[in-house]
């Protein structure tokens, strides 16, 4: 089976940096996604990692270590609009499923 763990909630201050961790266990790993979901809206794609290392995209970066079953999403220069849930998702090549973690609700304080 698969197991994806991420913190339930985090709080950070506007302008600061926050790191949201995700650990996963799967035998058929074939890529890790991060999605952002604002309240009442659909999830939107943020990043994709399939090889070890850091992928940077503007204020957001995502890191992957396959040997450790670990990823993080790094958000810099936090803005109030970054208040949202951040969902870690893993793709399994055996059945092509994309399975989501329970999400981390990020609160940004002024």
Partner 1 sequence: DTAVSQTPKYLVTQMGNDKSIKCEQNLGHDTMYWYKQDSKKFLKIMFSYNNKELIINETVPNRFSPKSPDKAHLNLHINSLELGDSAVYFCASSPRGPNEKLFFGSGTQLSVL
Q: Which residues bind partner 1 (CB under 8 A)?
A: 31, 33, 35, 37, 41-45, 48, 50, 85, 87, 91, 95-100, 102-103, 105
Residue 6 phi, psi dihedral angles, 5° rounding: -150, 155
The residue among 11 and 44 lying less far from partner 1, judged by its C-beta, is: 44
> In angstroms, rounded to a whole number, what is the distance separating the alpha carbons of residues 86 and 26?
20
Q: Which two tokens stand for residue 5?
A: 């763990």
The residue among 17 and 45 lying less far from partner 1, judged by its C-beta, is: 45
Q: How far is the CB of 62 from partner 1 (least distance, A)?
A: 13
The residue among 21 and 37 lying less far from partner 1, judged by its C-beta, is: 37
Answer whether 28's CB lies under 8 Å from 94's CB: yes
Answer whether 7's CB lies under 8 Å from 71's CB: no
Three-state secondary structure call for residue 30: strand
Q: How far is the CB of 46 from partner 1 (least distance, A)?
A: 10
Q: Which two tokens stand for residue 100?
A: 């989501």
The residue among 19 and 45 lying less far from partner 1, judged by its C-beta, is: 45
Q: How far is the CB of 13 from partner 1 (least distance, A)?
A: 23
């Amino acid at each position: 089976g698969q197991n994806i763990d991420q913190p339930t909630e985090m709080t950070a201050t506007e302008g600061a940096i926050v790191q949201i961790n995700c650990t996963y266990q799967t035998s058929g790993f074939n890529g890790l996604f991060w999605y952002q979901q604002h309240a009442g809206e659909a999830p939107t794609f943020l990043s994709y990692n399939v090889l070890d290392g850091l992928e940077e995209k503007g204020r957001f970066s995502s890191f992957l270590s396959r040997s450790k079953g670990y990823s993080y999403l790094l958000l810099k220069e936090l803005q109030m609009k970054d208040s949202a849930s951040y969902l870690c998702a893993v793709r399994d090549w055996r059945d092509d499923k994309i399975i989501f973690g329970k999400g981390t609700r990020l609160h940004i304080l002024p």
